[in-house]
Every structure is written in structure tokens, then in C-alpha cells.
Structure 1
Amino acid sequence: MAKSIQMDKLRLGVCYYPEHWPEELWEDDFRRMKEMNISVIRLAEFAWTIFEPQEGHFDFSFFEHVMDLAHQYGLKVILGTPTATPPAWLTHTYPEVLNANVDGVLYRHGMRRHTNYSSPKYRELCERIVSNMVKAYRHHPTLIGWQIDNELNCQMDLFYAETDHIAFREWLQVRYGTLDNLNKAWGTVFWSQTYTEWEQVYLTRTMVGASPNPHLALDERRFISDITISFAKLQADIIRELDPHHWVTTNGTFGHIDNHEMTDQLLDFFSYDSYPQFATVRVGDDENPLNDRAWSMKLSNVRSMSPNFCVMEQQSGPGGWVDSKGMGTPRPGQIRLWSYQSVLHGTDLLVYFRWRTATMGTEMYWHGINDYANEPNRRVREVGQIGEEFAQIGELVAGTTYQAEIAILQDYDNSWDGELDQWHGPLNNQSVRSWYKQLQYRHLPTDMITLRPTTVLEDLTKYKTIVYPHAAIMTDETAALLQEYVAQGGMLFFGARTGYKNPSGHCYMRPFPGAVAELCGIKVDDFTLIKGTVKPAELNWRGSSSLPSGTTAVGFNEILHAEQADVVIMAEYASEYYKGKPALTRRTVGKGQVWYYGAAYNEPVVDAILDEIGLKSPVAAYMDVPSEVELGIRYAQEKAYMFLLNYSDKQVTVHVKRPFVSLLDGRVVDKEVPMDPYGVLILEK
């Protein structure tokens, strides 16, 4: 059962750093927050030096004073444990707490996340500061919850300190029991890598060619996830014991953490940090990109952990560190647009980063709602408008949940394995982006879900269609679960390089696509990676829909062979030495269908498939929505609220076929409904 935040209404919050500002500003800040309908502040996640200025000497009076004043203004407080930024005295006295790069060179004080989770000394000191902090504030009337650390594995998700190598060996002994089992799992007979003593085993180290044993590398990422979760657990356990009356969360989805497992084990709900503008500076050569709208895919992933969640940091201004590329100022309306993007996807507590832009430090160009001068600006006015709207609609929308009939399926093992393995990792990035983009442009609400050891059939059958594009690691048990899903009526899509690896990352000695070959009714006769001088083959579509002339099968080309008579060839290769051979197949199994595509999906192929299977937007019968607008629906029993978000810098028009009530202003809309640039429309169904 997924864990959700429990809010009686939509609430606005803001990250506040009183340690950065003179005390004479605090009361005016809190007064203005209340005027803007901001009711929650996040404090203290970087304040270890204030709590413990010298080793063993604690002083919690500063933030107690801040919280007392916040309470006078009716503000509630989220406290962050400060373990992401240890004091200088700590790293100077105990250098063994520092993380190291792959060469074993220590990272030094001056940034954040420069420690390692394995250090017994660091764990001891973290336990002590968290225990004392919880005891100091647990009874304060303004406290509503705890945030563990801040953005676990942000900036750094690889760990090579000496204590990490030791902890890795211990983790492996639990996982494998014996060196014989480890050697088998890692295939160490190759290149005479066989281990005869545990002390010979290390995490990745610098080597010729910079290509580690891939099976070691996969276990390394599993280990990092487990050690990160154990670090969070030591804090969660302290809070649960000393303060069982307040909720516990943590924020951000970063590398090499199974956030689903962490949420299940430790948290009351998951929290996310939403910076949609990141998607606009990482577009690459993508044609017709989603830009900031692409951030909805990340928010969809958070929903799979907590259908209703907290955004602990919502972008409220231009971003950028001193030494990194900056981002432009959000245009008028974009902060409001991005805020409702988060709300659409399940946010019930929205906390802006930050109240006022820092005047010093690495983040002095990471702007907040207020500028340095602390005078009214359009960002303040825009957040004020959102506050007014939350006050109006908050009780109606809180607790409703996003609904989708289509899901893109992923799993941690394939994601981690694909970081190193260029024979399937890039294919997944290509396919997921193409599917999500075209589903967005066609107004088909989509979930991002994660296959886990605990996944059962009922977790899948809520979706009519599932896309699981390049699951290289595939077990017979997973294949059986997916066959059940198809047989009961589901439509399932695979892509190239499916099913050829076992959980250790070894290639199966069985025809591709391995465990799902029988389900798909095919085998792979031949294949080629598309790279360098190897060109992708063109496609000839054989279905009832159309495919633009010259469309190619990108990334990888598998030459398929139908093994079962009921396999239907939906597309063939139209060039290269495998011209005329199957590229895309479809097979009916029970009440459902399974499709297999011997390449990475691109937008023209996804469009042709969507036309072929006839998927329609849930609002198609009573509304025509332009492609620039994201559509999603939050439901609860008899209630349904349709969110329409215009990501365009131009006015667009929504055509409705019957009257609707606009939730934000109470007016009745009918026929042609104009939406301003970056406009937001919420219609009650």
C-alpha cells in the first residue's frame, strides 16, 4: 500500500534560513508569509554548526527562538536533520568520515555531501546530533514533521572511502555467503579475476580501460542503495523512538537509491524537489521537446511511491550555482504553471525554495521568491495569487489522486545496469522519452511505475497498457507475472534487448528475448547495434495506421522470426541486409496483446502504434485540447478535477462540447475557452 501525505487542504510552504538573515527581518518575513497564505516553513537542514558549534557542546536556542516567533504567526515548521553538511571541526578532527573518489583521494570540507555513509564515526556523530535535536524540539507546538538529511546522494552517489570498501565486503558476505558464490555471480573466471580471500575484494578502482567488471558494478550500485537506506534508517529509528507523534520524510530522487524500498521501510510519505527548468537546459538534439513539461515524468515517478506527496522544494526563481550554468528567470505565469504541475501530479503540500535569495555562498544565484533587496516583485505577487487560489480550492483538491490507464514500467536493476552497459541503457532513455512525449501530446495521462520483488498482478491490472521497453535483466518469475497481465486483458510493449540477462547481469544461453520469447512468440535471429558507420534500417508499416516515409528503426536493430503461427507482423525492415524481415510483432494471448519491437522506440513509431491501437484521451468525448496543453485528472470517489496547463508562450484555445465550471474562478465555460500563455485551467467534471 503506497504511503501518502495526509492534508486537510492544499498548503503552501517555503524554505527559510533565519541563520542567513538579521533577526530584525524575521517578524516581517513571517507577517508577509501569512499574507500570502504560506502556512509552513522548512528549517535547519544545513545548520549543524549552529546546533553543535564545538564537539559535544549543543545549543538549540537559536531555532527555538525562531520557532517561537513562527508560532506567534500561526506558521507550522518542518525540521531537517543537518547531516548533509557536517561542521568543519568534524571533518578536520575525523577525516575518516570523508568520501573519496575512485582513486581514493579524499574530498575535503567546503561543499556538501562530502562524507560517506559507512564511517562508524560519522554514524555515531549523526546519531548524536539527531537524538539531541529531536529531544530539543519534539514538543514544540509549531512542529509538524521531520525531514531526514537533505537530498540523499545529490552531487555524490559513488563512494570509495576505505570504510566503504570494508562495508562492501561485509555486504557481499551477507549477500553471497561464500567466495565461490561471489565468483560465480561476478564471472571472475574471465580474465583471471577470481578472488581467494575477502580482503582482495574492493569497490571499483582505477584500472586500464576504465571498464570495471560489469557484475561488480551492478552490485556496487545495489550496495550504495542499501548503505544509503541504512544511513537514513538510523535517523528514522531515532525520530520514531523519541518523537512518534510527527511524520518522517526525506526529499529528492537521486542516483543509486531504491527510493521505493526506503519509503516502504522508513517514511510516512516521500517528498520531492521540483525544478522544471532543469528540463529546458538538458534538451540536447531532441526535436519538438517537452521542455519544462517533461518534468511531469519525474513527478509521475514520485506518485508511484506516494500518490499524494510533498514538494519540499518548488522552483520559484532563476537557478544556478556560482560555478555552473545558470537558468533564465521564469517568465510571468511560469511559477504558477509549475506549481500546478506539481499539484496535478499529487502534491498536497507545496514548499517553495526559497523565501529570499541568499546574498552569499554557492547558491547566491539560486533565486527565491524575494530578491536581495527584499522589495515587492512579480514573483512575490505570483506566489500571492497561488496562495489565494489554494485558500479557495485547497479543501476540494487535497486527497484526490491522479488517475491513468497507461503506465511506463521500469526497475532499479535495469536502470543501474544500463548506466554502464551501452548495449541497452541508452535504448531505454530513448524509448521512455519518446513514449512519454507522445502520450503527453495526445493527452493520455500516464503513470511511471517500478517493478519490485513485491509487485503482484493487481498492481499491474489497473492499467490497460504497459510499456516495458528494454528490460535486459528479466527472470522467469517476472515473465510469468507479465504473461498473467496480458492474459487477463492487458496490452504490453517490449523493445530490443529484452530478456537477455539474468539478475547478476550474465547473458543467458537461450534464444533472445529469453524468458519472454514464448510469450511474444518470436526469437531474435540476428541483431546489430546502430553506431558509427552502421545505419538504422528504414521501416515498412503493415498495419492500418501510417508511418512517415523514411522512418528508421533507431538505436538497435533486431531481426525477428515468428515462432508461433498467431504472431502478426506489424512492421518490416525496408533497407539493409535484413530488408523484408520482421521489426515489430503483435500476438494475442488470452484477452490481451503483447507487442515486440526490435529497436528503440522513436516518436513516429509510437504515434503509429497509438493510432493502430486506438488509444483516446479520457476527455476526447467532451473536449478538444491543443497539444501545447498538458491534461491530467485528479479523482476521489464522485469528484474529478481536470487540470489543463498551457506550457506555451502563446494564447491557446480549448474547445469544450458542454459547459464546465472553472474551479479557480467559479465561472461557467463553454465552447471556446482561451488560455493565456502559461495559463492554468481546472475544470470540475
Structure 2
Amino acid sequence: MPTSTSPITQLAPNGGLVFGCDYNPEQWDEATWTEDVRLMREAGVNLVAVNIFGWAELQPDAETFHFDRLDAIMDLLHENGIGVNLGTGTASPPPWLTTAHPGILPVTVDGATRWPGGRQAWCPSSPVFRSSALTLVEAVARRYGAHPAVRLWHVSNELGCHNALCYCDTSAASFRRWLQDRYLTLDALNTAWGTAFWSQRYSAWEQILPPRTPHATPNPTQVLDFRRFSSDELLAYYRAEADTLRAHSTLPVTTNFMVTAHIRTQNYWQWAPEMDVIANDHYPDHRLEDPVQEIALAADLTRGLARNRPWILMEHATSAVNWQPRNIAKAPGELLRNSLSHLARGADGLCFFQWRASLQGSEKFHSAMLPHAGTDSKIWREVTELGETLGRLREVAGSTVTARAAVIFSWEAWWACDSDSHPSADLRYLDQVHALYGALWDAGITADFLPPDGDFTGYDLVLVPALYLVTDDDAGRLTDYVRGGGTAVVSFFSGIVDENERVRPGGYPGAFRDLLGISVEEFHPLTAGQQLQLSNGTTAALWSEALRTTGAEAVLTITEGHLAGTAAVTRNSFGNGHAWYLGTSLGKETLLEVLSDAARSAGIPASGTRGVETVERVSGDAHYLFVINHTTHDYKHRVTGTELVLGTEVADVVVVPAGTVRVVRTHSTGSTHSTGSTVSTGKEAS
């Protein structure tokens, strides 16, 4: 099992912050290695991930291992005082393995084989792949388990990025075993899956398949269970590699999560306890309306997985990536702002993919710390600036983020909410999470993320976006929280089904009817572009409901159409607390106003400035206030202390120029930014 305390402080010299990168020395000759290591030292790099994709070089055939070049780069890094985050090399099988054993290749939902030529061309259930991979892991662990350069073990890479769901016959057999362990009897499975519908009742385990493409829509619970199984199957694979490493080393073991807007295949709440260090990969997604807010969301969610302890950003980009429809380069100053947003929200390490930009392969146009243009470039100058800044912020290492608000996040609810045959194909789980979190971000309220079965103690405000699937126990936990004096805000399409995708009868929102003091008879989703007039003069979209109050008061009502007079936003006194309900998709300004009112009623000040992040990390009586100005206007914030980026003293007000970051250390027992702030010119990002 993982170690009991976070070992991040062991990864950087003298307990400072980690500044690192992926390095792929197999792509370069040894003369280039020497130049690279010299430049790494110049930039301040102190941790380098190697052997992420080294399998084909280390093991050119089934019987042979060649470690000479990996030995050389390990020794070179160590001689220069740079630690190693050592990969097991198993992220992609070499061509000799898939040629000899084509049965390890993954199969898609419609039965197509995914061939070699990319990466992760392996089925998570394949015993042949696992045996071959663990042979490599054993060899790497034996050779480098005591090497002085190694500070961290890196299992595989971005597990499940491309191959999380495999529908082959081997996966089918593993799925059946998983179902037998979960349900014990076929009768229990048939009940859970509701197989009385469409004559789907199973009379033998062998009849059960993964939810391969059917003629009609698939059984929703079968799909949900297959996603649960697939997450568990990859986690079992991680455990197998981690156990092999721990047999030969006492160093921490991790793998890089993908807490991001477009990856949803692993239930990381179940994965997180298995990690010695929580590590995440994150890249701004320019397909989203607000990539900056999504950076903060991902960082806060990663901190939740780390149980509010420091974590590592294992990969991010100095500029453009290579895999989006339009790969947008970062503007001047954006690299520093993006990086320090992660640092502000709990990261104790900032690492990049990758060190030197590749000259060939599908990622050759992905940005790097050392770009194709070399050291006479904007990227290199900003990389060295970031390294110098992290040196000045080293005392922040080990401090933690505290929050009075929390957001409930559920991978299982995400899977279920986005499945087929729902009232509106336009309703997507993550959109609702982004909307509620974004309103908190605009209000200047820092939030933790919790699983549905998390501990809500100590939070004044809990947001519940689109928790479509929730167990009775977890719904009861939220109810008890409000009864005890908490404030909750629940959005539409929450509490509808139990863990088996079974609708709770008696009226929506099912598990939360009594808590919210409402009952909904029928959903009325809106058509694309349709607007709903509200009593405050604004409009809503996407969703409406035939809602009646059974104790709650109406905060906003619908003013037109057949639902005129129906409550759209409600507030209910319940026990010693209050529960708000959002029955429609409010406009951005209205949602900000409603959540700010809910926060203030819970005792949390809401006085943020849109486009400016203010986040606090605390260590003992030292408070570190990060002010990140994403706007085109200078910004002023009331605080007194020592500004660490410039090394200057601040008396009463710190000025944060447009597009820059300031970090102020104070010594106090209260928040350093509870007294409010002012903006010198303008209030919103342009």
C-alpha cells in the first residue's frame, strides 16, 4: 500500500518545489544529451521523467535487454544533480510483441481491431500483455531500484488515454468474472440490470457480453457496469506494476492521471488511495468556452484527489499542443499564469511535456521547454523565468489550500448522465460542473472537490451539479449535512436514479425531494436556441420543469409559456440549514448572482473580480496569497506582507499588472484577502 505521508518534499533538492519535464533520450544522440543536461541546469530543472516509452529500446526482442544507454543517461543526470522520475517503459508495446501476439490488441465497441502504429495498443485484460509488461518492470526495478538518481517511480503513462474500453473476447471473459464478484448470482444481476425490459434476462453467465454496438440503444446499467469494470481493470494493472516495483524499492510510486475536460474513463476517487503521490497531466482545452477556468477546476479536483495534500503537475505545455483541431500558441505571460494557477491550487511540482521538441513523430509540433527555435526564443525565456520564479517561491512547498466551499464530483454520475435515451441530448454532466464551478471562480470563492461519499464537515457551502446518479446513503449524507446547518445548492437532473440506473418513483428529483422541498412531475427540455423568460428579467436555456413547491420558497419564476408562474430557482429551510435548487440553466450573470447569494447566506464573502484568481495557501501562521491577473487591466488587491515574485514589501495594496502574477506572504490567523479588493481600470477580462 502507499506510504502514509506525502513524499513530494523528497523529490526536489532541499525540500523546495519540483520543476521538471519528460525527456526522451532515445530520440537523440549522446552529444545532444550533454547539451540538454547543461541547459536543464541553466533552467533550474530538478526532476526528469525518462523511460516513459523506452520498451523497444530496452527490449528489442523477447529474450534480450539492453540497458547501456539508459544507464548512461541516468548517470549523467545524477552527476548533474538532477533527479529521475523513472518510467517503467510499458506505455506502448513494441512491434515485435504485437506481431507475435496480435490477441493483445484492443477491440472497439463495433468490433474493429485497433492496430499498432500509435500508442497504448494493448487490451487491459490481456494476460499475455500483462506478463510481458511485468517482465520488463521486473528487469527495470532490479537494475535501478537502488540507483541514486531515482526519486519517483512512474507506472506506464496516462493509463486509459486510448485503450480504457476494450470489447474483445478476453475482456468479455474478464467482465463476466467482475460481474460474478459484484452480484454473486444471476438473479441479482438481472434485477440490477432490469433485464425484464426487452427480453434481456440472462440464464447463464456465458451469455453476458460487453455492451458492444447493438441495433437499438444498449442497456444503460450494462453500459455503466462496463465502465466500472474497465476502470477497475486498469487499476488492477496499475497495482500489478506497483507491487513489482515495491518488491525492489522503497521509493514512492505513482502514475499520471488525466483530470481534464475530455477524459472520463477512470474513477479516480477509487484510484487515488493507491498512489504515493497524486500526479496529473493537464493541457488547456481551447474547445472550451473558458480554458482558464478549466485549468483551475482541474487543479482543484486534483487537490481533492490528493485529499488536500500537495500534488504534482506531471505534464503541461509551454505553448501549443498537437492534438486539438486548432493548436493555439500561448500569449506572452500565459505560461507563467497557467503554471502558477496549478501551484496556487496545491501543486508542489510543475513539469512539462517535454524537454526538447521532437523532430519526428505525431507530437513533433507539440511545444517543449526547449523548442525547435532553440534558446533564442520566447518559450525558452519564459521557461527560465518560471524556473527563477519557482526558486523564489520555494518556501511555499508543503503549504496547503483551505476552502469553505465544496463541489461534489462523481465519475459514475458523469458516465450515467451522459448515456443514451435521456430527456435531452444537450444536457452533459461536465457542462453543469463547469457552470457552477465557473460561477464560484467569478465570485472569487475557492472550492474543494469531494466524492458523493465524502466528508462535508467543515464546509459552509456544498454545490451539487447534475448528480443524476446517487446512492441512498450518499443522498442521506447530503441531507444530514444541511439538517446540521450547512447550505447546499443542487442543480437540475440530480437524484434521479440509484446506483443501478433505476429511477426513483414518486416525482423528481427523487433522492432530494424532501431536502429541497419541491416535487417535479415532468421534464421540459428546451430546443436549441430556445430562451426561457425569468422573473428577474433575464433568460435561461436548455432545461425547464413542471415543478411545484412543497415547502420551498420561489427565488425566481418562469414568466411565459405553459410553465408561467412555475418556480425556476427555489430555497428551502431544512433543519438548521438551507437547500437551494436550480431548475433551469441560468445565464452566466444570474447564476453568479444566485450562487453569490447562497454563499453570502452561508457566511462566505463573494467579492471576486472576473478574470482574476485569488487563492491562498497556508503553512502554520504563514499565508501565501496568489493573485493571478488574466485580464488586460492592472488590478489592485488589499493586503500587507512580502511579495515573493519581486521580493518587495507591500503595505496595504499590491498592484498586479495586466497578465502577471503576484504572491504575497503574510503572517496572520485569518485570510489575507478577506478585506476585499479594487480594480484600477475595468472589472472583467477582455
- TM norm structure 1: 0.91
Q: 1:683 aligns with which of 657, 664, 674?
A: 664
1:620 Cα shift?
7.0
CA 1:628–1:500: 2 relative to 1, 3 Å: closer
Residues 496, 599 of structure 1: 8 Å contact kept: yes
In structure 1, the residue matched to 2:75 is: 68
Residues 49, 86 of structure 2: 8 Å contact kept: yes
Q: Deviations over 1:113-168 (max 9, x none)?
A: 12111011111111111111100111111100111110011133321122111111
Instruction: Report the more deviating stretch, 225-234 or 496-505.
Output: 496-505
In structure 2, the residue matched to 1:308 is: 310
CA 1:222–1:661: 2 relative to 1, 3 Å: same
In structure 1, the residue matched to 2:381 is: 381
Paired positions, count? 652
Amino acid at match of 1:272: N
For 1:213-362, list aligned pairs within 5 A: 213-253=219-259, 254-264=263-273, 266-276=274-284, 278=285, 281-283=286-288, 289-306=289-306, 307-321=309-323, 325-362=325-362
Residues 442, 592 of structure 2: 8 Å contact kept: no
In structure 1, the residue matched to 2:367 is: 367
Q: Distance in 2 between matches of 1:391 and 1:166?
A: 52
Q: What percent identity do the matched residue pairs reach?
A: 28
CA 1:317–1:569: 2 relative to 1, 3 Å: closer
Amino acid at match of 2:272: T
Q: 2:539 aligns with which of 532, 546, 551?
A: 551
Q: Distance in 2 between matches of 1:3 and 1:176?
A: 35
1:479 Cα shift?
2.3
For 1:663-674, list aligned pairs within 5 A: 663-670=644-651, 673-674=654-655
In structure 2, the residue matched to 1:167 is: 174
Q: Distance in 1 between matches of 2:410 and 2:605?
A: 32
For 1:490-509, list aligned pairs within 5 A: 490-509=486-505
In structure 2, the residue matched to 1:511 is: 507
In structure 2, the residue matched to 1:543 is: none
Q: Distance in 2 between matches of 1:364 and 1:25?
A: 17
In structure 1, the residue matched to 2:577 is: 592
CA 1:429–1:251: 2 relative to 1, 3 Å: closer
Residues 444, 617 of structure 1: 8 Å contact kept: no
Q: Distance in 1 between matches of 2:129 and 2:197?
A: 38
Q: Distance in 2 between matches of 1:529 and 1:172?
A: 35
Amino acid at match of 2:415: W
Partner SS for 2:462? strand
In structure 1, the residue matched to 2:672 is: none
Does residue 153 of the first structure (1) align with residue 160 of the second (2)? yes
Q: Distance in 2 between matches of 1:640 and 1:375?
A: 36
Q: 1:471 aligns with which of 447, 460, 467?
A: 467
CA 1:46–1:6: 2 relative to 1, 3 Å: same
Does residue 192 of the first structure (1) align with residue 199 of the second (2)? yes
Q: Distance in 1 between matches of 2:526 and 2:322?
A: 36
Amino acid at match of 1:282: R
Partner SS for 2:544? strand
CA 1:243–1:89: 2 relative to 1, 3 Å: same
Partner SS for 2:418? helix
Q: Distance in 2 between matches of 1:525 and 1:33?
A: 63
Partner SS for 1:596? strand
Residues 434, 601 of structure 1: 8 Å contact kept: no
Residues 626, 654 of structure 1: 8 Å contact kept: no
Residues 81, 146 of structure 1: 8 Å contact kept: yes
Amino acid at match of 1:370: L
Partner SS for 2:46? strand
- TM norm structure 2: 0.90
In structure 1, the residue matched to 2:611 is: 628
Residues 215, 505 of structure 1: 8 Å contact kept: yes
Q: Distance in 2 between matches of 1:361 and 1:274?
A: 21
In structure 1, the residue matched to 2:620 is: 637
Residues 558, 598 of structure 1: 8 Å contact kept: yes
1:326 Cα shift?
4.1
> Which runs of no fewer than 5 residues in structure 1 stay unpaired?
284-288, 541-546
1:536 Cα shift?
5.0
Q: Distance in 2 between matches of 1:214 and 1:619?
A: 40
CA 1:518–1:562: 2 relative to 1, 3 Å: same
For 1:64-143, list aligned pairs within 5 A: 64-143=71-150
CA 1:250–1:626: 2 relative to 1, 3 Å: closer
CA 1:399–1:481: 2 relative to 1, 3 Å: same
Q: Distance in 2 between matches of 1:21 and 1:617?
A: 57
> Which runs of no fewer than 5 residues in structure 2 stay unpaired?
10-14, 667-686
Q: Distance in 2 between matches of 1:641 and 1:654?
A: 16
Q: Distance in 2 between matches of 1:532 and 1:341?
A: 34
Residues 504, 511 of structure 2: 8 Å contact kept: no
1:601 Cα shift?
4.3
Amino acid at match of 2:619: A
Instruction: Report the more deviating stretch, 661-670 or 346-355.
Output: 661-670
1:599 Cα shift?
2.2
Residues 651, 674 of structure 1: 8 Å contact kept: no
1:563 Cα shift?
2.2
Q: Deviations over 1:238-268 (max 9, x none)?
A: 111221234434343343212121121x210
Instruction: Report the more deviating stretch, 85-94 or 234-243.
Output: 234-243
Does residue 449 of the first structure (1) align with residue 450 of the second (2)? yes
Does residue 44 of the first structure (1) align with residue 29 of the second (2)? no
CA 1:601–1:537: 2 relative to 1, 3 Å: closer
1:625 Cα shift?
6.3
In structure 2, the residue matched to 1:528 is: 524
Residues 147, 251 of structure 1: 8 Å contact kept: no
For 1:418-429, list aligned pairs within 5 A: 418-421=417-420, 422-423=422-423, 426=427, 428-429=429-430
Q: Distance in 2 between matches of 1:408 and 1:271?
A: 20
Q: Distance in 2 between matches of 1:617 and 1:38?
A: 44
- 4+ residue stretches of structure 1 with deviation over 6 A? 616-621
Q: Distance in 2 between matches of 1:247 and 1:94?
A: 29
In structure 1, the residue matched to 2:406 is: 407
Residues 500, 513 of structure 1: 8 Å contact kept: yes
Instruction: Report the more deviating stretch, 384-393 or 159-168.
Output: 384-393
Partner SS for 1:380? helix
Q: Deviations over 1:404-455 (max 9, x none)?
A: 2111112122111122144478253333222222221221112222224xx3
Q: Deviations over 1:593-615 (max 9, x none)?
A: 01122223442332231343363
Does residue 181 of the first structure (1) align with residue 193 of the second (2)? no
Amino acid at match of 1:557: S
Q: Distance in 1 between matches of 2:276 and 2:354?
A: 24
